[in-house]
Chain A
């Protein structure tokens, strides 16, 4: 019989436990285990672990199986134009970011004098915009008047504004009549 050391036992422990050693080798190893408490404890622990590991398999969760089944279905779904979607998605984000940055810088230059040249330019730009708005307002007013004229001439409809104007004319005539009554008419 060959006397084994702990290292030999550790190297052959799995083979011993799975009965793949020769009978002589098995007997030598068994003899060591009877003498060495450390190797005996190790062998017991390995046996316990093998049993524990054998029970560690789990069922696949239902939702995961569903995800796996879905792989075949999603692979067949027609793909949308991913480039267009990417462009559309990123364009919206970039546009929002650009607008926010522009507003921030506009306020900075308009309300502060950190950069005098920028402040001057922003103010002149605002003045230009105000001018355009005023002119546009004037055009719109004239357009509205023209529309009223065309409308009334076509359909003969008097506008409320016209009636009020006539009322004012009547009142002026009445005052004029009273004045002439009191003064005895025109002298001239």
Chain B
């Protein structure tokens, strides 16, 4: 079943069509949320909330638009809103406690958490807008053009933000001087 057909059927209350949408797109939304927020439980909640929004706003989706872009816009906005509401005040605590603990030996860090988890937490140090572009590009493999279209941002801005995000992440993992964001 094509996505357009699934959306049409879903608007008419077809559960099978909804299941197909979930099956096809839950991975994108979940990974965007997980890598953006670096907390599994919160990523579960965000994913569920995004899909609830999707279900109840599906009638607003116009067929001439790209569904993936539309859903990613919904997810991105929800992630950033969630971050602003819940994470801002906890950011520095998380950085201090989990990431830049210089006293931990590399073995301790390796035991405590996997490389991906550690990297995911370092992503928290990047500005939300830049972080989301980096996730879309390097984790989800979207093209610069798709990101620009999804986020309604000029292509040059997307490219420069992703470059700066990569440099910042690299300098954090090298333990060197922080890149200005």
Contacts and interface: CB of A to CB of B under 8 A. Distances in A.
Interface of A: 10-15, 41-42, 45-46, 49-50, 52-61, 64-65, 67-69, 71-73, 75-76
A49 to B, nearest CB: 6
A45 B141 contact: no
Interface of B: 10, 13, 15, 18-19, 22-23, 26-27, 30-31, 34-35, 44, 47-48, 51-52, 55-56, 115-116, 119-120, 134, 138-141, 159-160, 162-163, 166-167, 169-171, 173-174, 179
Nearest to B22: A68
Contacts of A52: 115-116, 119
A18 B47 CA distance: 31
Contact of B120 (A54, A56, A61): A56
Given A42-B167, A46-B166, A57-B27, A64 B139 contact: no
B139 A56 contact: yes
Contact of B173 (A10, A45, A58): A45
Nearest to A55: B116
Contact of A56 (B52, B116, B169): B116
B174 A71 contact: no
Contacts of B163: 10-15
A11 B162 CA distance: 11
A60 B30 contact: yes
A60 B21 CA distance: 14
B51 A71 contact: yes
A104 B26 CA distance: 55
A72 B52 CA distance: 9
A75 B52 CA distance: 9
A68 B166 contact: no
Contacts of A69: 18-19, 22
